[in-house]
Chain A
Amino acid sequence: MKEVAELLNDMRKAGVVTDYALFGAAAQMRYTEAVATLDADVLIVVPEPDRLDVLEPIYAYCHDRGYTPEDEAVRVGAWPVQFVPVFSPLTKEAVSRADTAEFEGTPLRVVGAGYLAVIALSVGRAKDFARVLALVESGAVTRDDIGALAARHGLAGAWSRFTRRFLDDNP
Chain B
Amino acid sequence: MTTHEELLARQAAWQKSRQALSWPEKIRQAERLRSSIEAIRKERWRQLRRDLPGSRNDEQAVLT
Would you call the interface of chain B mostly helix, strand, loop, or mixed?
Answer: helix
Whether the Cβ atoms of B37 and A36 lie closer than 8 Å is yes
Complex A-B: 16 CB contacts under 8 Å: A1-B24, A31-B19, A32-B19, A33-B19, A33-B21, A34-B27, A34-B33, A36-B33, A36-B34, A37-B30, A79-B31, A101-B23, A103-B23, A103-B24, A103-B27, A104-B24
- Give a binary string over B24-44; 1 marks a CB under 8 Å from any A CB, 0 the rest: 101101110110011000000
Minimum distance in angstroms from B49 CB to a CB of chain A: 19
Interface range on chain A (Cβ under 8 Å from partner): 10 to 19
A133-155 contacts to B, CB under 8 A, are 138
Among candidates A31, A78, A103, residue contacting B31 with C-beta atoms closer than 8 Å:
A78
Q: How many residue pairs at the A-B interface have CB separations less than 8 Å?
A: 44
Query: Within the assembled complex, what's the spacing in Å between the Cα atoms of A164 and B10?
Result: 28
Whether the Cβ atoms of B30 and A34 lie closer than 8 Å is yes
B15, B26, B30 interface centre (most CB from chain A within 10 Å): B30
Minimum distance in angstroms from B26 CB to a CB of chain A: 4
Whether the Cβ atoms of A35 and B30 lie closer than 8 Å is yes
- Give a binary string over A1-45; 1 marks a CB under 8 Å from any B CB, 0 the rest: 100000000000000000000000110011111111110000000
